[in-house]
Amino acid sequence: MLSLPSKRSRYLAYTGLSVLMLLSACSDTKEAGQSKRLPISLKPTLVTNVNQFNTYVQQRHLDVRRQTKTMAAQINMFANEPSHENLLRAQAAWQTAHESFLKLKPALLVDKDQLIRRIDAWPIQPGFLDSLPDYPTTGIVNDISIEISATELIHQHGITSDDEVALGYHSLEYLLFARKLSDYIENSVPADSNPALSTRSLENVGAAAKNVNRRTLMLSTIVIQLATDIDRFIIQSESELDDQSSSAPILAGLLKSLLKNMRQAFRESLLLNERDLSHGGYSNTSRSALLQELNTLRSLTLGEVNLSPLFTILDATNAKSFEITINQAIALAAKVAPSETEQMNLDLTLSALLHQLEDFELALRLRLND
């Protein structure tokens, strides 16, 4: 007996067909123009674009450093004085710092996958970090053979699988949002104050207190290492900008990076309703993070860095539809409680946006190699 395709598979098939139809209108114009060199008259505009890009990156560097410092201060305050108020402050500082990094992340000219895997690795495996309800002795927190130190956490991070995450924003996210406040408060009871406690109960109380200390130390250690990794990331980013000698390769590198981040954003959209897999699921910030990434894409193409003249030269038809598509994507991502149809439309729009960026990146690459 034949089974009917699922709603999701039917949707994906529909998405693929719709994207092909949406993009077919551009196909006739691409072949005619891709092999031509960029006009000399565009050079001043490209220089302006690079200056805009440099200004954007410098501002984001300052902002990321500032927000990282604020986040570290709030998390350390919570670690030293665990309270509901301090936890809320630490959570808010985490979200602001994470979204600040998302504004900088696409502004790269050279791949830094290994470093980004330390800074923004997701999804994570919660049981790798700490105990689970059905497995109370799992995780680094409970494994006293593992030292809670930056060196050891770097060693443990991704030790056998990418989702074995011990560092970065999302290990902090889990510890701040998924763990209870009581997980950070020592609650030991002296034996002589409660004769009803058995020796076994006292042993459990002692173990729980030790885990509180290890969990708190892990929180502080991760935030220190994250600040170190972000500083290294920024220094490398500044260095790579200094090494570029002309405008066109810088913008080609930017388009390549935007395309890479757009692929991830499309994946994030498909996983928005999967708490354990989504980008920011434990903090319920997945949609906010995606919206930030789309706003950043607009800033780096049609806003603070205005690539419209370049896009028009590369593919005039695609350039006109790109602005419409990015604005539609942002409007759909901004919906707080989207319907199933609206979510499907968001996925479809992001797929179209991804193809449009691919066309721009390919067209520029071909012209630079001509």
Q: Is the pLDDT of residue 203 over 70?
A: no
**pLDDT, position 1:** 36
Q: Is the pLDDT of residue 24 over 50?
A: no
Q: Is the pLDDT of residue 202 over 50?
A: no
pLDDT-wise least confident of 4-13, 36-45, 174-183, 334-343: 4-13
**pLDDT, position 245:** 63
Residue ranges covered by each domain of the chain:
1-63+246-370, 110-243
Which residues have a Cβ under 8 Å from the Cβ of 60 and sit 6 or more positions away? 100, 103, 104, 107
**pLDDT, position 109:** 75
Contact by Cβ (8 Å): 177, 126? no
Long-range pairs of 258-262 with CB within 8 A, sequence gap ≥ 24 = 258/106, 258/297, 258/300, 258/301, 258/357, 259/354, 259/357, 259/358, 259/361, 260/106, 261/105, 261/106, 261/293, 261/297, 262/297, 262/350, 262/353, 262/354, 262/357
- The DSSP annotation for 228-291 comes to HHHHHHHHHHHHHHHH--SHHHHHHHHHHHHHHHHHHHHHHHHTTT-TTTSTTTTTT-HHHHHH
Region 79-94 average pLDDT: 97
Question: What would the pLDDT profile of 231-278 be if each residue is shown by its tens digit?
Answer: 998 888 777 666 556 888 899 999 999 999 999 999 999 999 888 899
pLDDT level of residue 190 (50, 70, 90 thresholds)? very low
Question: What would the pLDDT profile of 36-65 be if each residue is shown by its tens digit?
Answer: 789 999 999 999 999 999 999 999 999 999
